[in-house]
Structure 1
Amino acid sequence: MNSIFLRLYGGLLLALCFIGAITYAAVQLVNSYRSDIYREEMARGTFYLMAEGYQRYEPGERDRWSQVLSKLFNADIQLQSAAELDLGYRETLHLEDGLVVMRLNEQKGYADILFQLPGEPEYITTRMTKVSEQQARATAVLVLNHLSLFPEDEWELALGRLQQHFGYPLSLVSRDHVPLDPEQEQRLNRREVVIGLDDSTRSDSSIRIYAPVADTGKLLVIGPLSLFDQFPIELLLVAGILSLLAVALATYLQVSPLQRRLKQLDQAVSQLGSGDLGAYANIEGNDAIGQVAATFNGMTAHIRRLIESQREMTRAVSHELRTPVARLRFGLEMLADIESAELRREKLNALDHDIEQLDQLIDEILTYARLEQGTPNIEFKPVLLGELCEQLREELETIRGDTVITVDCDQPTLEVEAEERYLHRVLQNLVTNALRYAGSQIVMVVDGDEDQVIIHVDDNGPGIPEHERERVFKPFARLDKSRHRASGGYGLGLSIVKRIVDWHGGDIRVDESPMGGARFTIILPRSQQGQHVLGRVN
């Protein structure tokens, strides 16, 4: 079990490690993309206000606004052309859409930020090394500067229009509705911008920026600005360890019953290897092991049947051979004492007849033994039953004597998928068997539908007793009353018929014929569907 467990677990472990590596890389990529989007959203509104300020100045006076912004943000802010910036295709598209473009240099720890003046071929550029409170206060100053361009009663409307350029909320609230500590109140009284942190102990903490709006008693509230929340690597590690433990447990639970069933199968195989033909793998289920166990049980049953059949054949052959051999020995002994040439010739003819019977018996035994070896490589092809029956009737014309053989087939085009050679042997055995017992007539009746075909072989002989009908298909089985030994045969013809019908996935039975004798009925499927049928256990 350790081997199976380790192999399964090892394979799953490798797969999980591979998936974990891909997941880690994907998380890093997603975090990087989300970080870029976060920074661009945070900066877009601020740079929109910068661009708005530039566009209020004449081109020759914009340097003054650059100086104001540089001092306000404590960073070098200037205007540059596209040729100076060497913009890429993606950067150009983003800038034309009014987005902020950031060029990160993680090794040196800074970011170049670009923003295009709306409708102009010039770009605001600056280099930021870190995000500080000064930049947050500068953004609040720019918003207040923007509101100063409108009458007080239009501030809400102006703030609403400005909101579409910001990635976080902007609002005007009454100072009385904002909970502030005494120090923050004092700073607001000095007209300073105040930054407040909401619940810094929580993972979803955020900041708000409060700026007094002249003497109106209102505050400009920027935010809440949520801090960037990366997918934590520690959480992935914990999840990975828990996943490994879960996989180990699931693998063990799957392998344990699998190993028990394999052990049962191994015991059955060992039992069979030691010579116990009664070995049986008691394993249920439709999975691979269950199918192997069913195949093993079928194989052992087939072996038992073959061995039992060979035992029966050995006993029957020894019995069947004894009589002609004894007659040959007795005839040879008598032949030495016969002086008359005519009597000697008669005795030689009798010996020749015994040898011919012995040869026929050996041929039947070899045929049956060959069929008992298992299902041959049968090539199924469409066979016209009407034509096959007519062909057989013509072949038996010379040996039928006074018995009339007729074919009753209402469907001349009726076909069945079969091996024509073997199907011919089946009908030949049945009809020649009927010739031994028929009074005067034999009829082959062919019928069928979409799924199967039915062939009846009827005779008007003495018939077969009901209690003997199953035994006639056993090898060397012969009836001593209605079908007595004087009729000839060795009891193998019907066994051969049964085996061939089984190969074709069909069935054969014997009943009473409407003509008063025996009726042998063969039922075959119209289509074999490319499957060979293993011989049934008799």
Structure 2
Amino acid sequence: MIFFLISSFNMHLKDKLVIIATEISNEKLNKNTLLKLQHKYKVYPLFIRIIDKKNPFITQKNKKNIEGFITKKIDMSTGKETLLIYNYVKNGKIIQVSTVISGNDDKIQIVKTISLAVSLFIYLIVLLIGYKFIDKVANNIDASFRRLKIFNSNVSHELKTPLTIMKGEIEVALMSNECNEDLLKSLLNEINYINEITDKLLFLTKKDSLNKQNFEEIDLEDIILELFEKYSKKISINLDIEDEEYTLKGDKTLLMIAISNLIENSIKYGASKIDIILKKEKNKIVLILKDNGIGIPKEKLPFIFDEFYRVDESRNKKVKGFGLGLSIVKSIITLHNGKIKLNSDGNSGVEAIIEFFYQK
């Protein structure tokens, strides 16, 4: 761009010299004429010389190529400069008009214009980046406030409900002076639910400080078999495990929590059976859990791993939840150099695909 502008300037300067030479050929040259032309066309400095073509000092070679532009290096007080010369032949005379290219205000103005344009461009880029950054920060702050508001609402609701139930049942028991087994079981269930919520909240506060320093070799197949023993009485589980080694570096307790959350979600949302597939693919271990529950609407899938997000926004009392389970699952899987994806059409269950990549 700069080269193009400088080339345009040089062409513009040549045009000026041609016009000046033409005007000189029609006027009588004197000091006033020179000053007038210099100010009129803003060519500084301006040199004019009129040579008779019959001058014996002009060689035959110069006679053939005398008309047109030439450049010449000259020594000046400021150093080496380039002189642009235009020779115009008319009426047996050579009108020679020349100027120092680097000494013209036009070129200085072009440099200023380029500098201004570049500065303006950089300013606009910085302004745009700043706007994008501020907009992103503002959106993040806004999202944080929304999440905090949802968090406060969820915590209040989820803790208030079991506490209200416990309070009511205890008051009834005190009034009737009875404390039967059903009452104790109900109270125990509510206490367990409060403990579950507390454990999940504590995990969220610690997840950013989790690291891989305490990881050890574990067998993912052993974890699946343990969970099969734990949940096979609650839901029909079909295992499909290829005859391979499924060892990886990790924390067994955390992986048990992650996979347990997925199985419990299947049970919670109406699944009567779940297929668990464990296999190897090149550089990764693939674990697939597919149930026949009510599924997840497609439009909800992009948000399913967000903290405090629940598909059932109305908080159906038949389905207890805090919107933290899948967020915790993703955190644990990510910590183990893996990724998780949920597929569902909203009608025929949910398929969870977990990939653990071998660390190099």
Contact 1:324 1:354 in 2 (8 A): yes
State how far apart, in whole Å, the 2-side matches of 1:506 and 1:364 are.
Answer: 21
Task: Name the counterpart of 1:337.
Answer: 175
The question of 1:388 aligning with 2:223 is answered: yes
Q: Measured at CA, do residues 303 and 417 of structure 1 come closer, stay the same or move farther in structure 2, by a change above 3 Å?
A: farther
Task: After TM superposition, list the pairs within 5 Å mapping 1:84-103 onto structure 2.
Answer: none
Shift of 1:456: 0.9
Q: Once the two structures are superposed, what CA deviation does each residue of 1:424-447 show, in whole Å capped at 9, x if it has no partner?
A: 222122122223335432111123
Q: Is the 8 A contact 1:478 1:484 kept in 2?
A: no
Contact 1:379–1:419, Cα closer than 8 Å, also in 2: yes
Moved more, 481-490 or 351-360: 481-490
2:277 matched residue in structure 1: 445
Q: Which residue in the other structure is 1:363 paired with?
A: 199
Distance in 2, Cα, partners of 1:484 & 1:310: 22
Partner residue of 1:461? 293
1:304 Cα shift?
A: 9.8
The answer to whether 1:506 aligns with 2:338 is yes
Map Cα deviations across residues 36-92 of structure 1 (whole Å, 9 max, x no partner). xxxxxxxxxxxxxxxxxxxxxxxxxxxxxxxxxxxxxxxxxxxxxxxxxxxxxxxxx
Change (3 A) 1:359 1:384: closer
Secondary structure, counterpart of 1:470 in structure 2: helix
SS of residue matched to 1:464? coil
Percent of residue pairs identical: 24
Q: 1:496 aligned to 2:332?
A: no
Structure having greater relative contact order (Cα 8 Å, sep ≥ 6): 2
Q: Any stretches of 5+ residues in structure 2 without a counterpart?
A: 1-125
- Alpha carbons of 1:488 and 1:503: their partners in 2 closer, same or farther (altered >3 Å)? same
Any idea what the Cα deviations from partners look like across 1:10-52, whole Å, max 9, x if unmatched? xxxxxxxxxxxxxxxxxxxxxxxxxxxxxxxxxxxxxxxxxxx
CA distance in 2, matches of 1:394, 1:352: 24
Q: Within 5 A, what are the aligned runs for 1:199-238?
A: none
Q: 1:433 to 1:476 in 2, by over 3 A?
A: same
Distance 1:494 1:384, change over 3 A: same
| Cα drift, residue 466 of structure 1 | 0.9
Equivalent residue number for residue 313 of structure 1:
151
Q: Are the structure 2 counterparts of residues 508 and 304 from structure 1 closer, same or farther at C-alpha, using a change threshold of 3 Å? A: farther
CA drift of 1:511 comes to 0.6
The alignment partner of 1:473 has SS state of coil
Task: Please report how far the alpha carbon of residue 459 of structure 1 lies from its aligned counterpart in structure 2 after TM superposition.
Answer: 0.7
Cα distance 1:502–1:485, how it changes in 2: closer, same or farther (>3 A)? farther
**Which residue of structure 2 aligns with residue 407 of structure 1?**
239
Deviations 1:226-252 (CA, angstroms, capped at 9, x unpaired): xxxxxxxxxxxxxxxxxxxxxxxxxxx
Compute the displacement of 1:423 (Å). Answer: 2.1
* Amino acid corresponding to residue 165 of structure 2 in structure 1: R
Contact 1:479 1:485 in 2 (8 A): no
The amino acid that maps onto 2:163 is V
Q: Quick check: 1:504–1:524 contact (8 Å CA) kept in 2?
A: yes
- Partner of 2:333, secondary structure, is helix
Instruction: Confirm or deny: 8 A CA contact 1:450 1:526 kept in the other structure.
Output: no
> Counterpart of 2:278 in 1: which secondary structure?
strand
Give how far 1:280 is off: 6.3
Aligned to 1:261: none
For residue 353 of structure 2, what is the aligned residue in structure 1? 521
Give me the whole-angstrom Cα distance separating, in 2, the residues matched to 1:381 and 1:279. Answer: 43
Answer 1 or 2: which has greater strand percent.
2
CA distance in 1, matches of 2:273, 2:219: 24
Structure 1 residue runs of 5 or longer lacking an equivalent are: 1-263, 269-277, 282-296, 530-538
Correspondences of 1:415-426 after superposition (within 5 Å): 415-426=247-258
Number of the residue aligned with 1:200:
none
Could you say what secondary structure the match of 2:264 adopts? helix
1:477 to partner: Cα distance: 2.8
Supply the AA of the counterpart residue of 1:313. F
Cα deviation digits, residues 276-296 of structure 1 (max 9, x gap): xx9969xxxxxxxxxxxxxxx
Amino acid at match of 1:367: F
Distance 1:413 1:306, change over 3 A: farther
**Amino acid corresponding to residue 356 of structure 1 in structure 2:** N
What residue number does 1:119 align with?
none
Q: Deviations over 1:132-167 (max 9, x none)?
A: xxxxxxxxxxxxxxxxxxxxxxxxxxxxxxxxxxxx
Match of 1:290 in 2: none
CA contact (8 A) 2:154 2:322 kept: no
Find the residue that maps to 2:318 and give its secondary structure.
Answer: helix
Q: 1:479 aligns with which of 290, 311, 317?
A: 311
Question: Is the 2:307–2:327 contact (alpha carbons within 8 Å) kept by the matching residues of 1?
Answer: yes
What is the TM-score of this pair, normalised by structure 1? 0.37
Which residue identity does 1:323 align to in structure 2?
T
- Counterpart of 1:421, as a letter, is T
Report the residue type matching 2:227 in the other structure.
Answer: L
Larger Rg: 1
User: Does structure 2 retain, via aligned residues, the 8 Å contact 1:437–1:483?
Assistant: no
Number of residue-to-residue matches in the alignment: 230
Amino acid at match of 1:327: I
Could you tell me which amino acid in structure 2 is paired with residue 354 of structure 1? Answer: E
1:493 CA displacement:
1.6
